């Protein structure tokens, strides 16, 4: 009888552990898809990972499109190229007011004429069902017009302070 109880507890532990690992894999996979869309300036795909209330009206969609158009313009004008976007592992998922939430570190390296710029930001992952995840840069939660359109964050969600971008000058070839 003790063996059966021990086996049941062990099986339950393994199942819970596997579910948590699977959730982390889903979150990171979705975040990487969004990062690839951002790097490729694939607006349609990128918007599909944006929290719905941020792009629910035409005005918001137009602002996003204008932002992407500006990025495209500066990209051509100043020779800007996204070298890499690295998404780290998500933190533990917490549920607050029926919304699953976590954070993920993101590092973007951009090549410019003068060298490279590396930025480290925090993405907030939001989901209602654990299968479809949306991502919001933590800086948006500091902007009043965006914050009003986003769900309340759990007090248990830790958002690290943003780091300053790091500029690495291009090697001079004389």
pLDDT 10s digit of each residue in the chain, 174 long? 666 654 454 444 444 444 445 899 999 999 999 999 888 878 788 888 988 888 777 777 677 777 777 777 777 777 788 888 999 999 999 999 999 999 999 999 988 888 899 999 999 999 999 999 999 988 887 777 777 778 888 999 888 888 899 999 987 554
> Is the distance from CB of 152 to CB of 96 less than 8 angstroms?
yes
CA angle 50, 55, 60 (to 5 degrees): 130
Quick one: which H or E segment has residue 8? helix 2-39
Structure letter (DSSP) for residue 160: P
Quick one: which H or E segment has residue 96? strand 94-96
Q: Which residue, 130, 124, 133, is CA-closest to 158? A: 124
CA atoms within 13 Å, Cβ hemisphere of 153: 18
What is residue 66's predicted lDDT score, i.e. its pLDDT? 76
Structural domains of the chain, with CATH: 2-169 (3.10.450.100)
CA distance 36 to 52: 19
CA angle 63, 121, 67 (to 5 degrees): 15
pTM: 0.76
What is residue 151's predicted lDDT score, i.e. its pLDDT? 80
């Amino acid at each position: 009888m003790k063996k059966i109880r021990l086996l049941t507890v062990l099986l339950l532990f393994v199942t819970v552990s596997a579910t948590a690992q699977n959730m982390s894999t889903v979150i990171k996979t979705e975040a990487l898809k969004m990062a690839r869309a951002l790097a490729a300036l694939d607006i349609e795909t990128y918007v599909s990972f944006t929290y719905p209330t941020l792009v629910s009206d035409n005005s918001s969609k137009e602002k996003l499109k204008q932002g992407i158009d500006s990025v495209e313009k500066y990209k051509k004008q100043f020779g800007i190229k996204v070298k890499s976007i690295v998404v780290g592992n998500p933190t533990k998922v917490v549920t607050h007011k029926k919304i699953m939430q976590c954070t993920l570190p993101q590092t973007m390296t951009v090549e410019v004429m003068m060298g490279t710029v590396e930025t480290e930001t925090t993405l907030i992952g939001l989901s209602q069902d654990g299968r479809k995840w949306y991502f919001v840069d933590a800086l948006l939660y500091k902007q009043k017009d965006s914050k009003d359109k986003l769900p309340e964050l759990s007090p248990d969600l830790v958002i690290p302070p943003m780091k300053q971008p790091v500029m690495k000058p291009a090697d001079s070839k004389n």
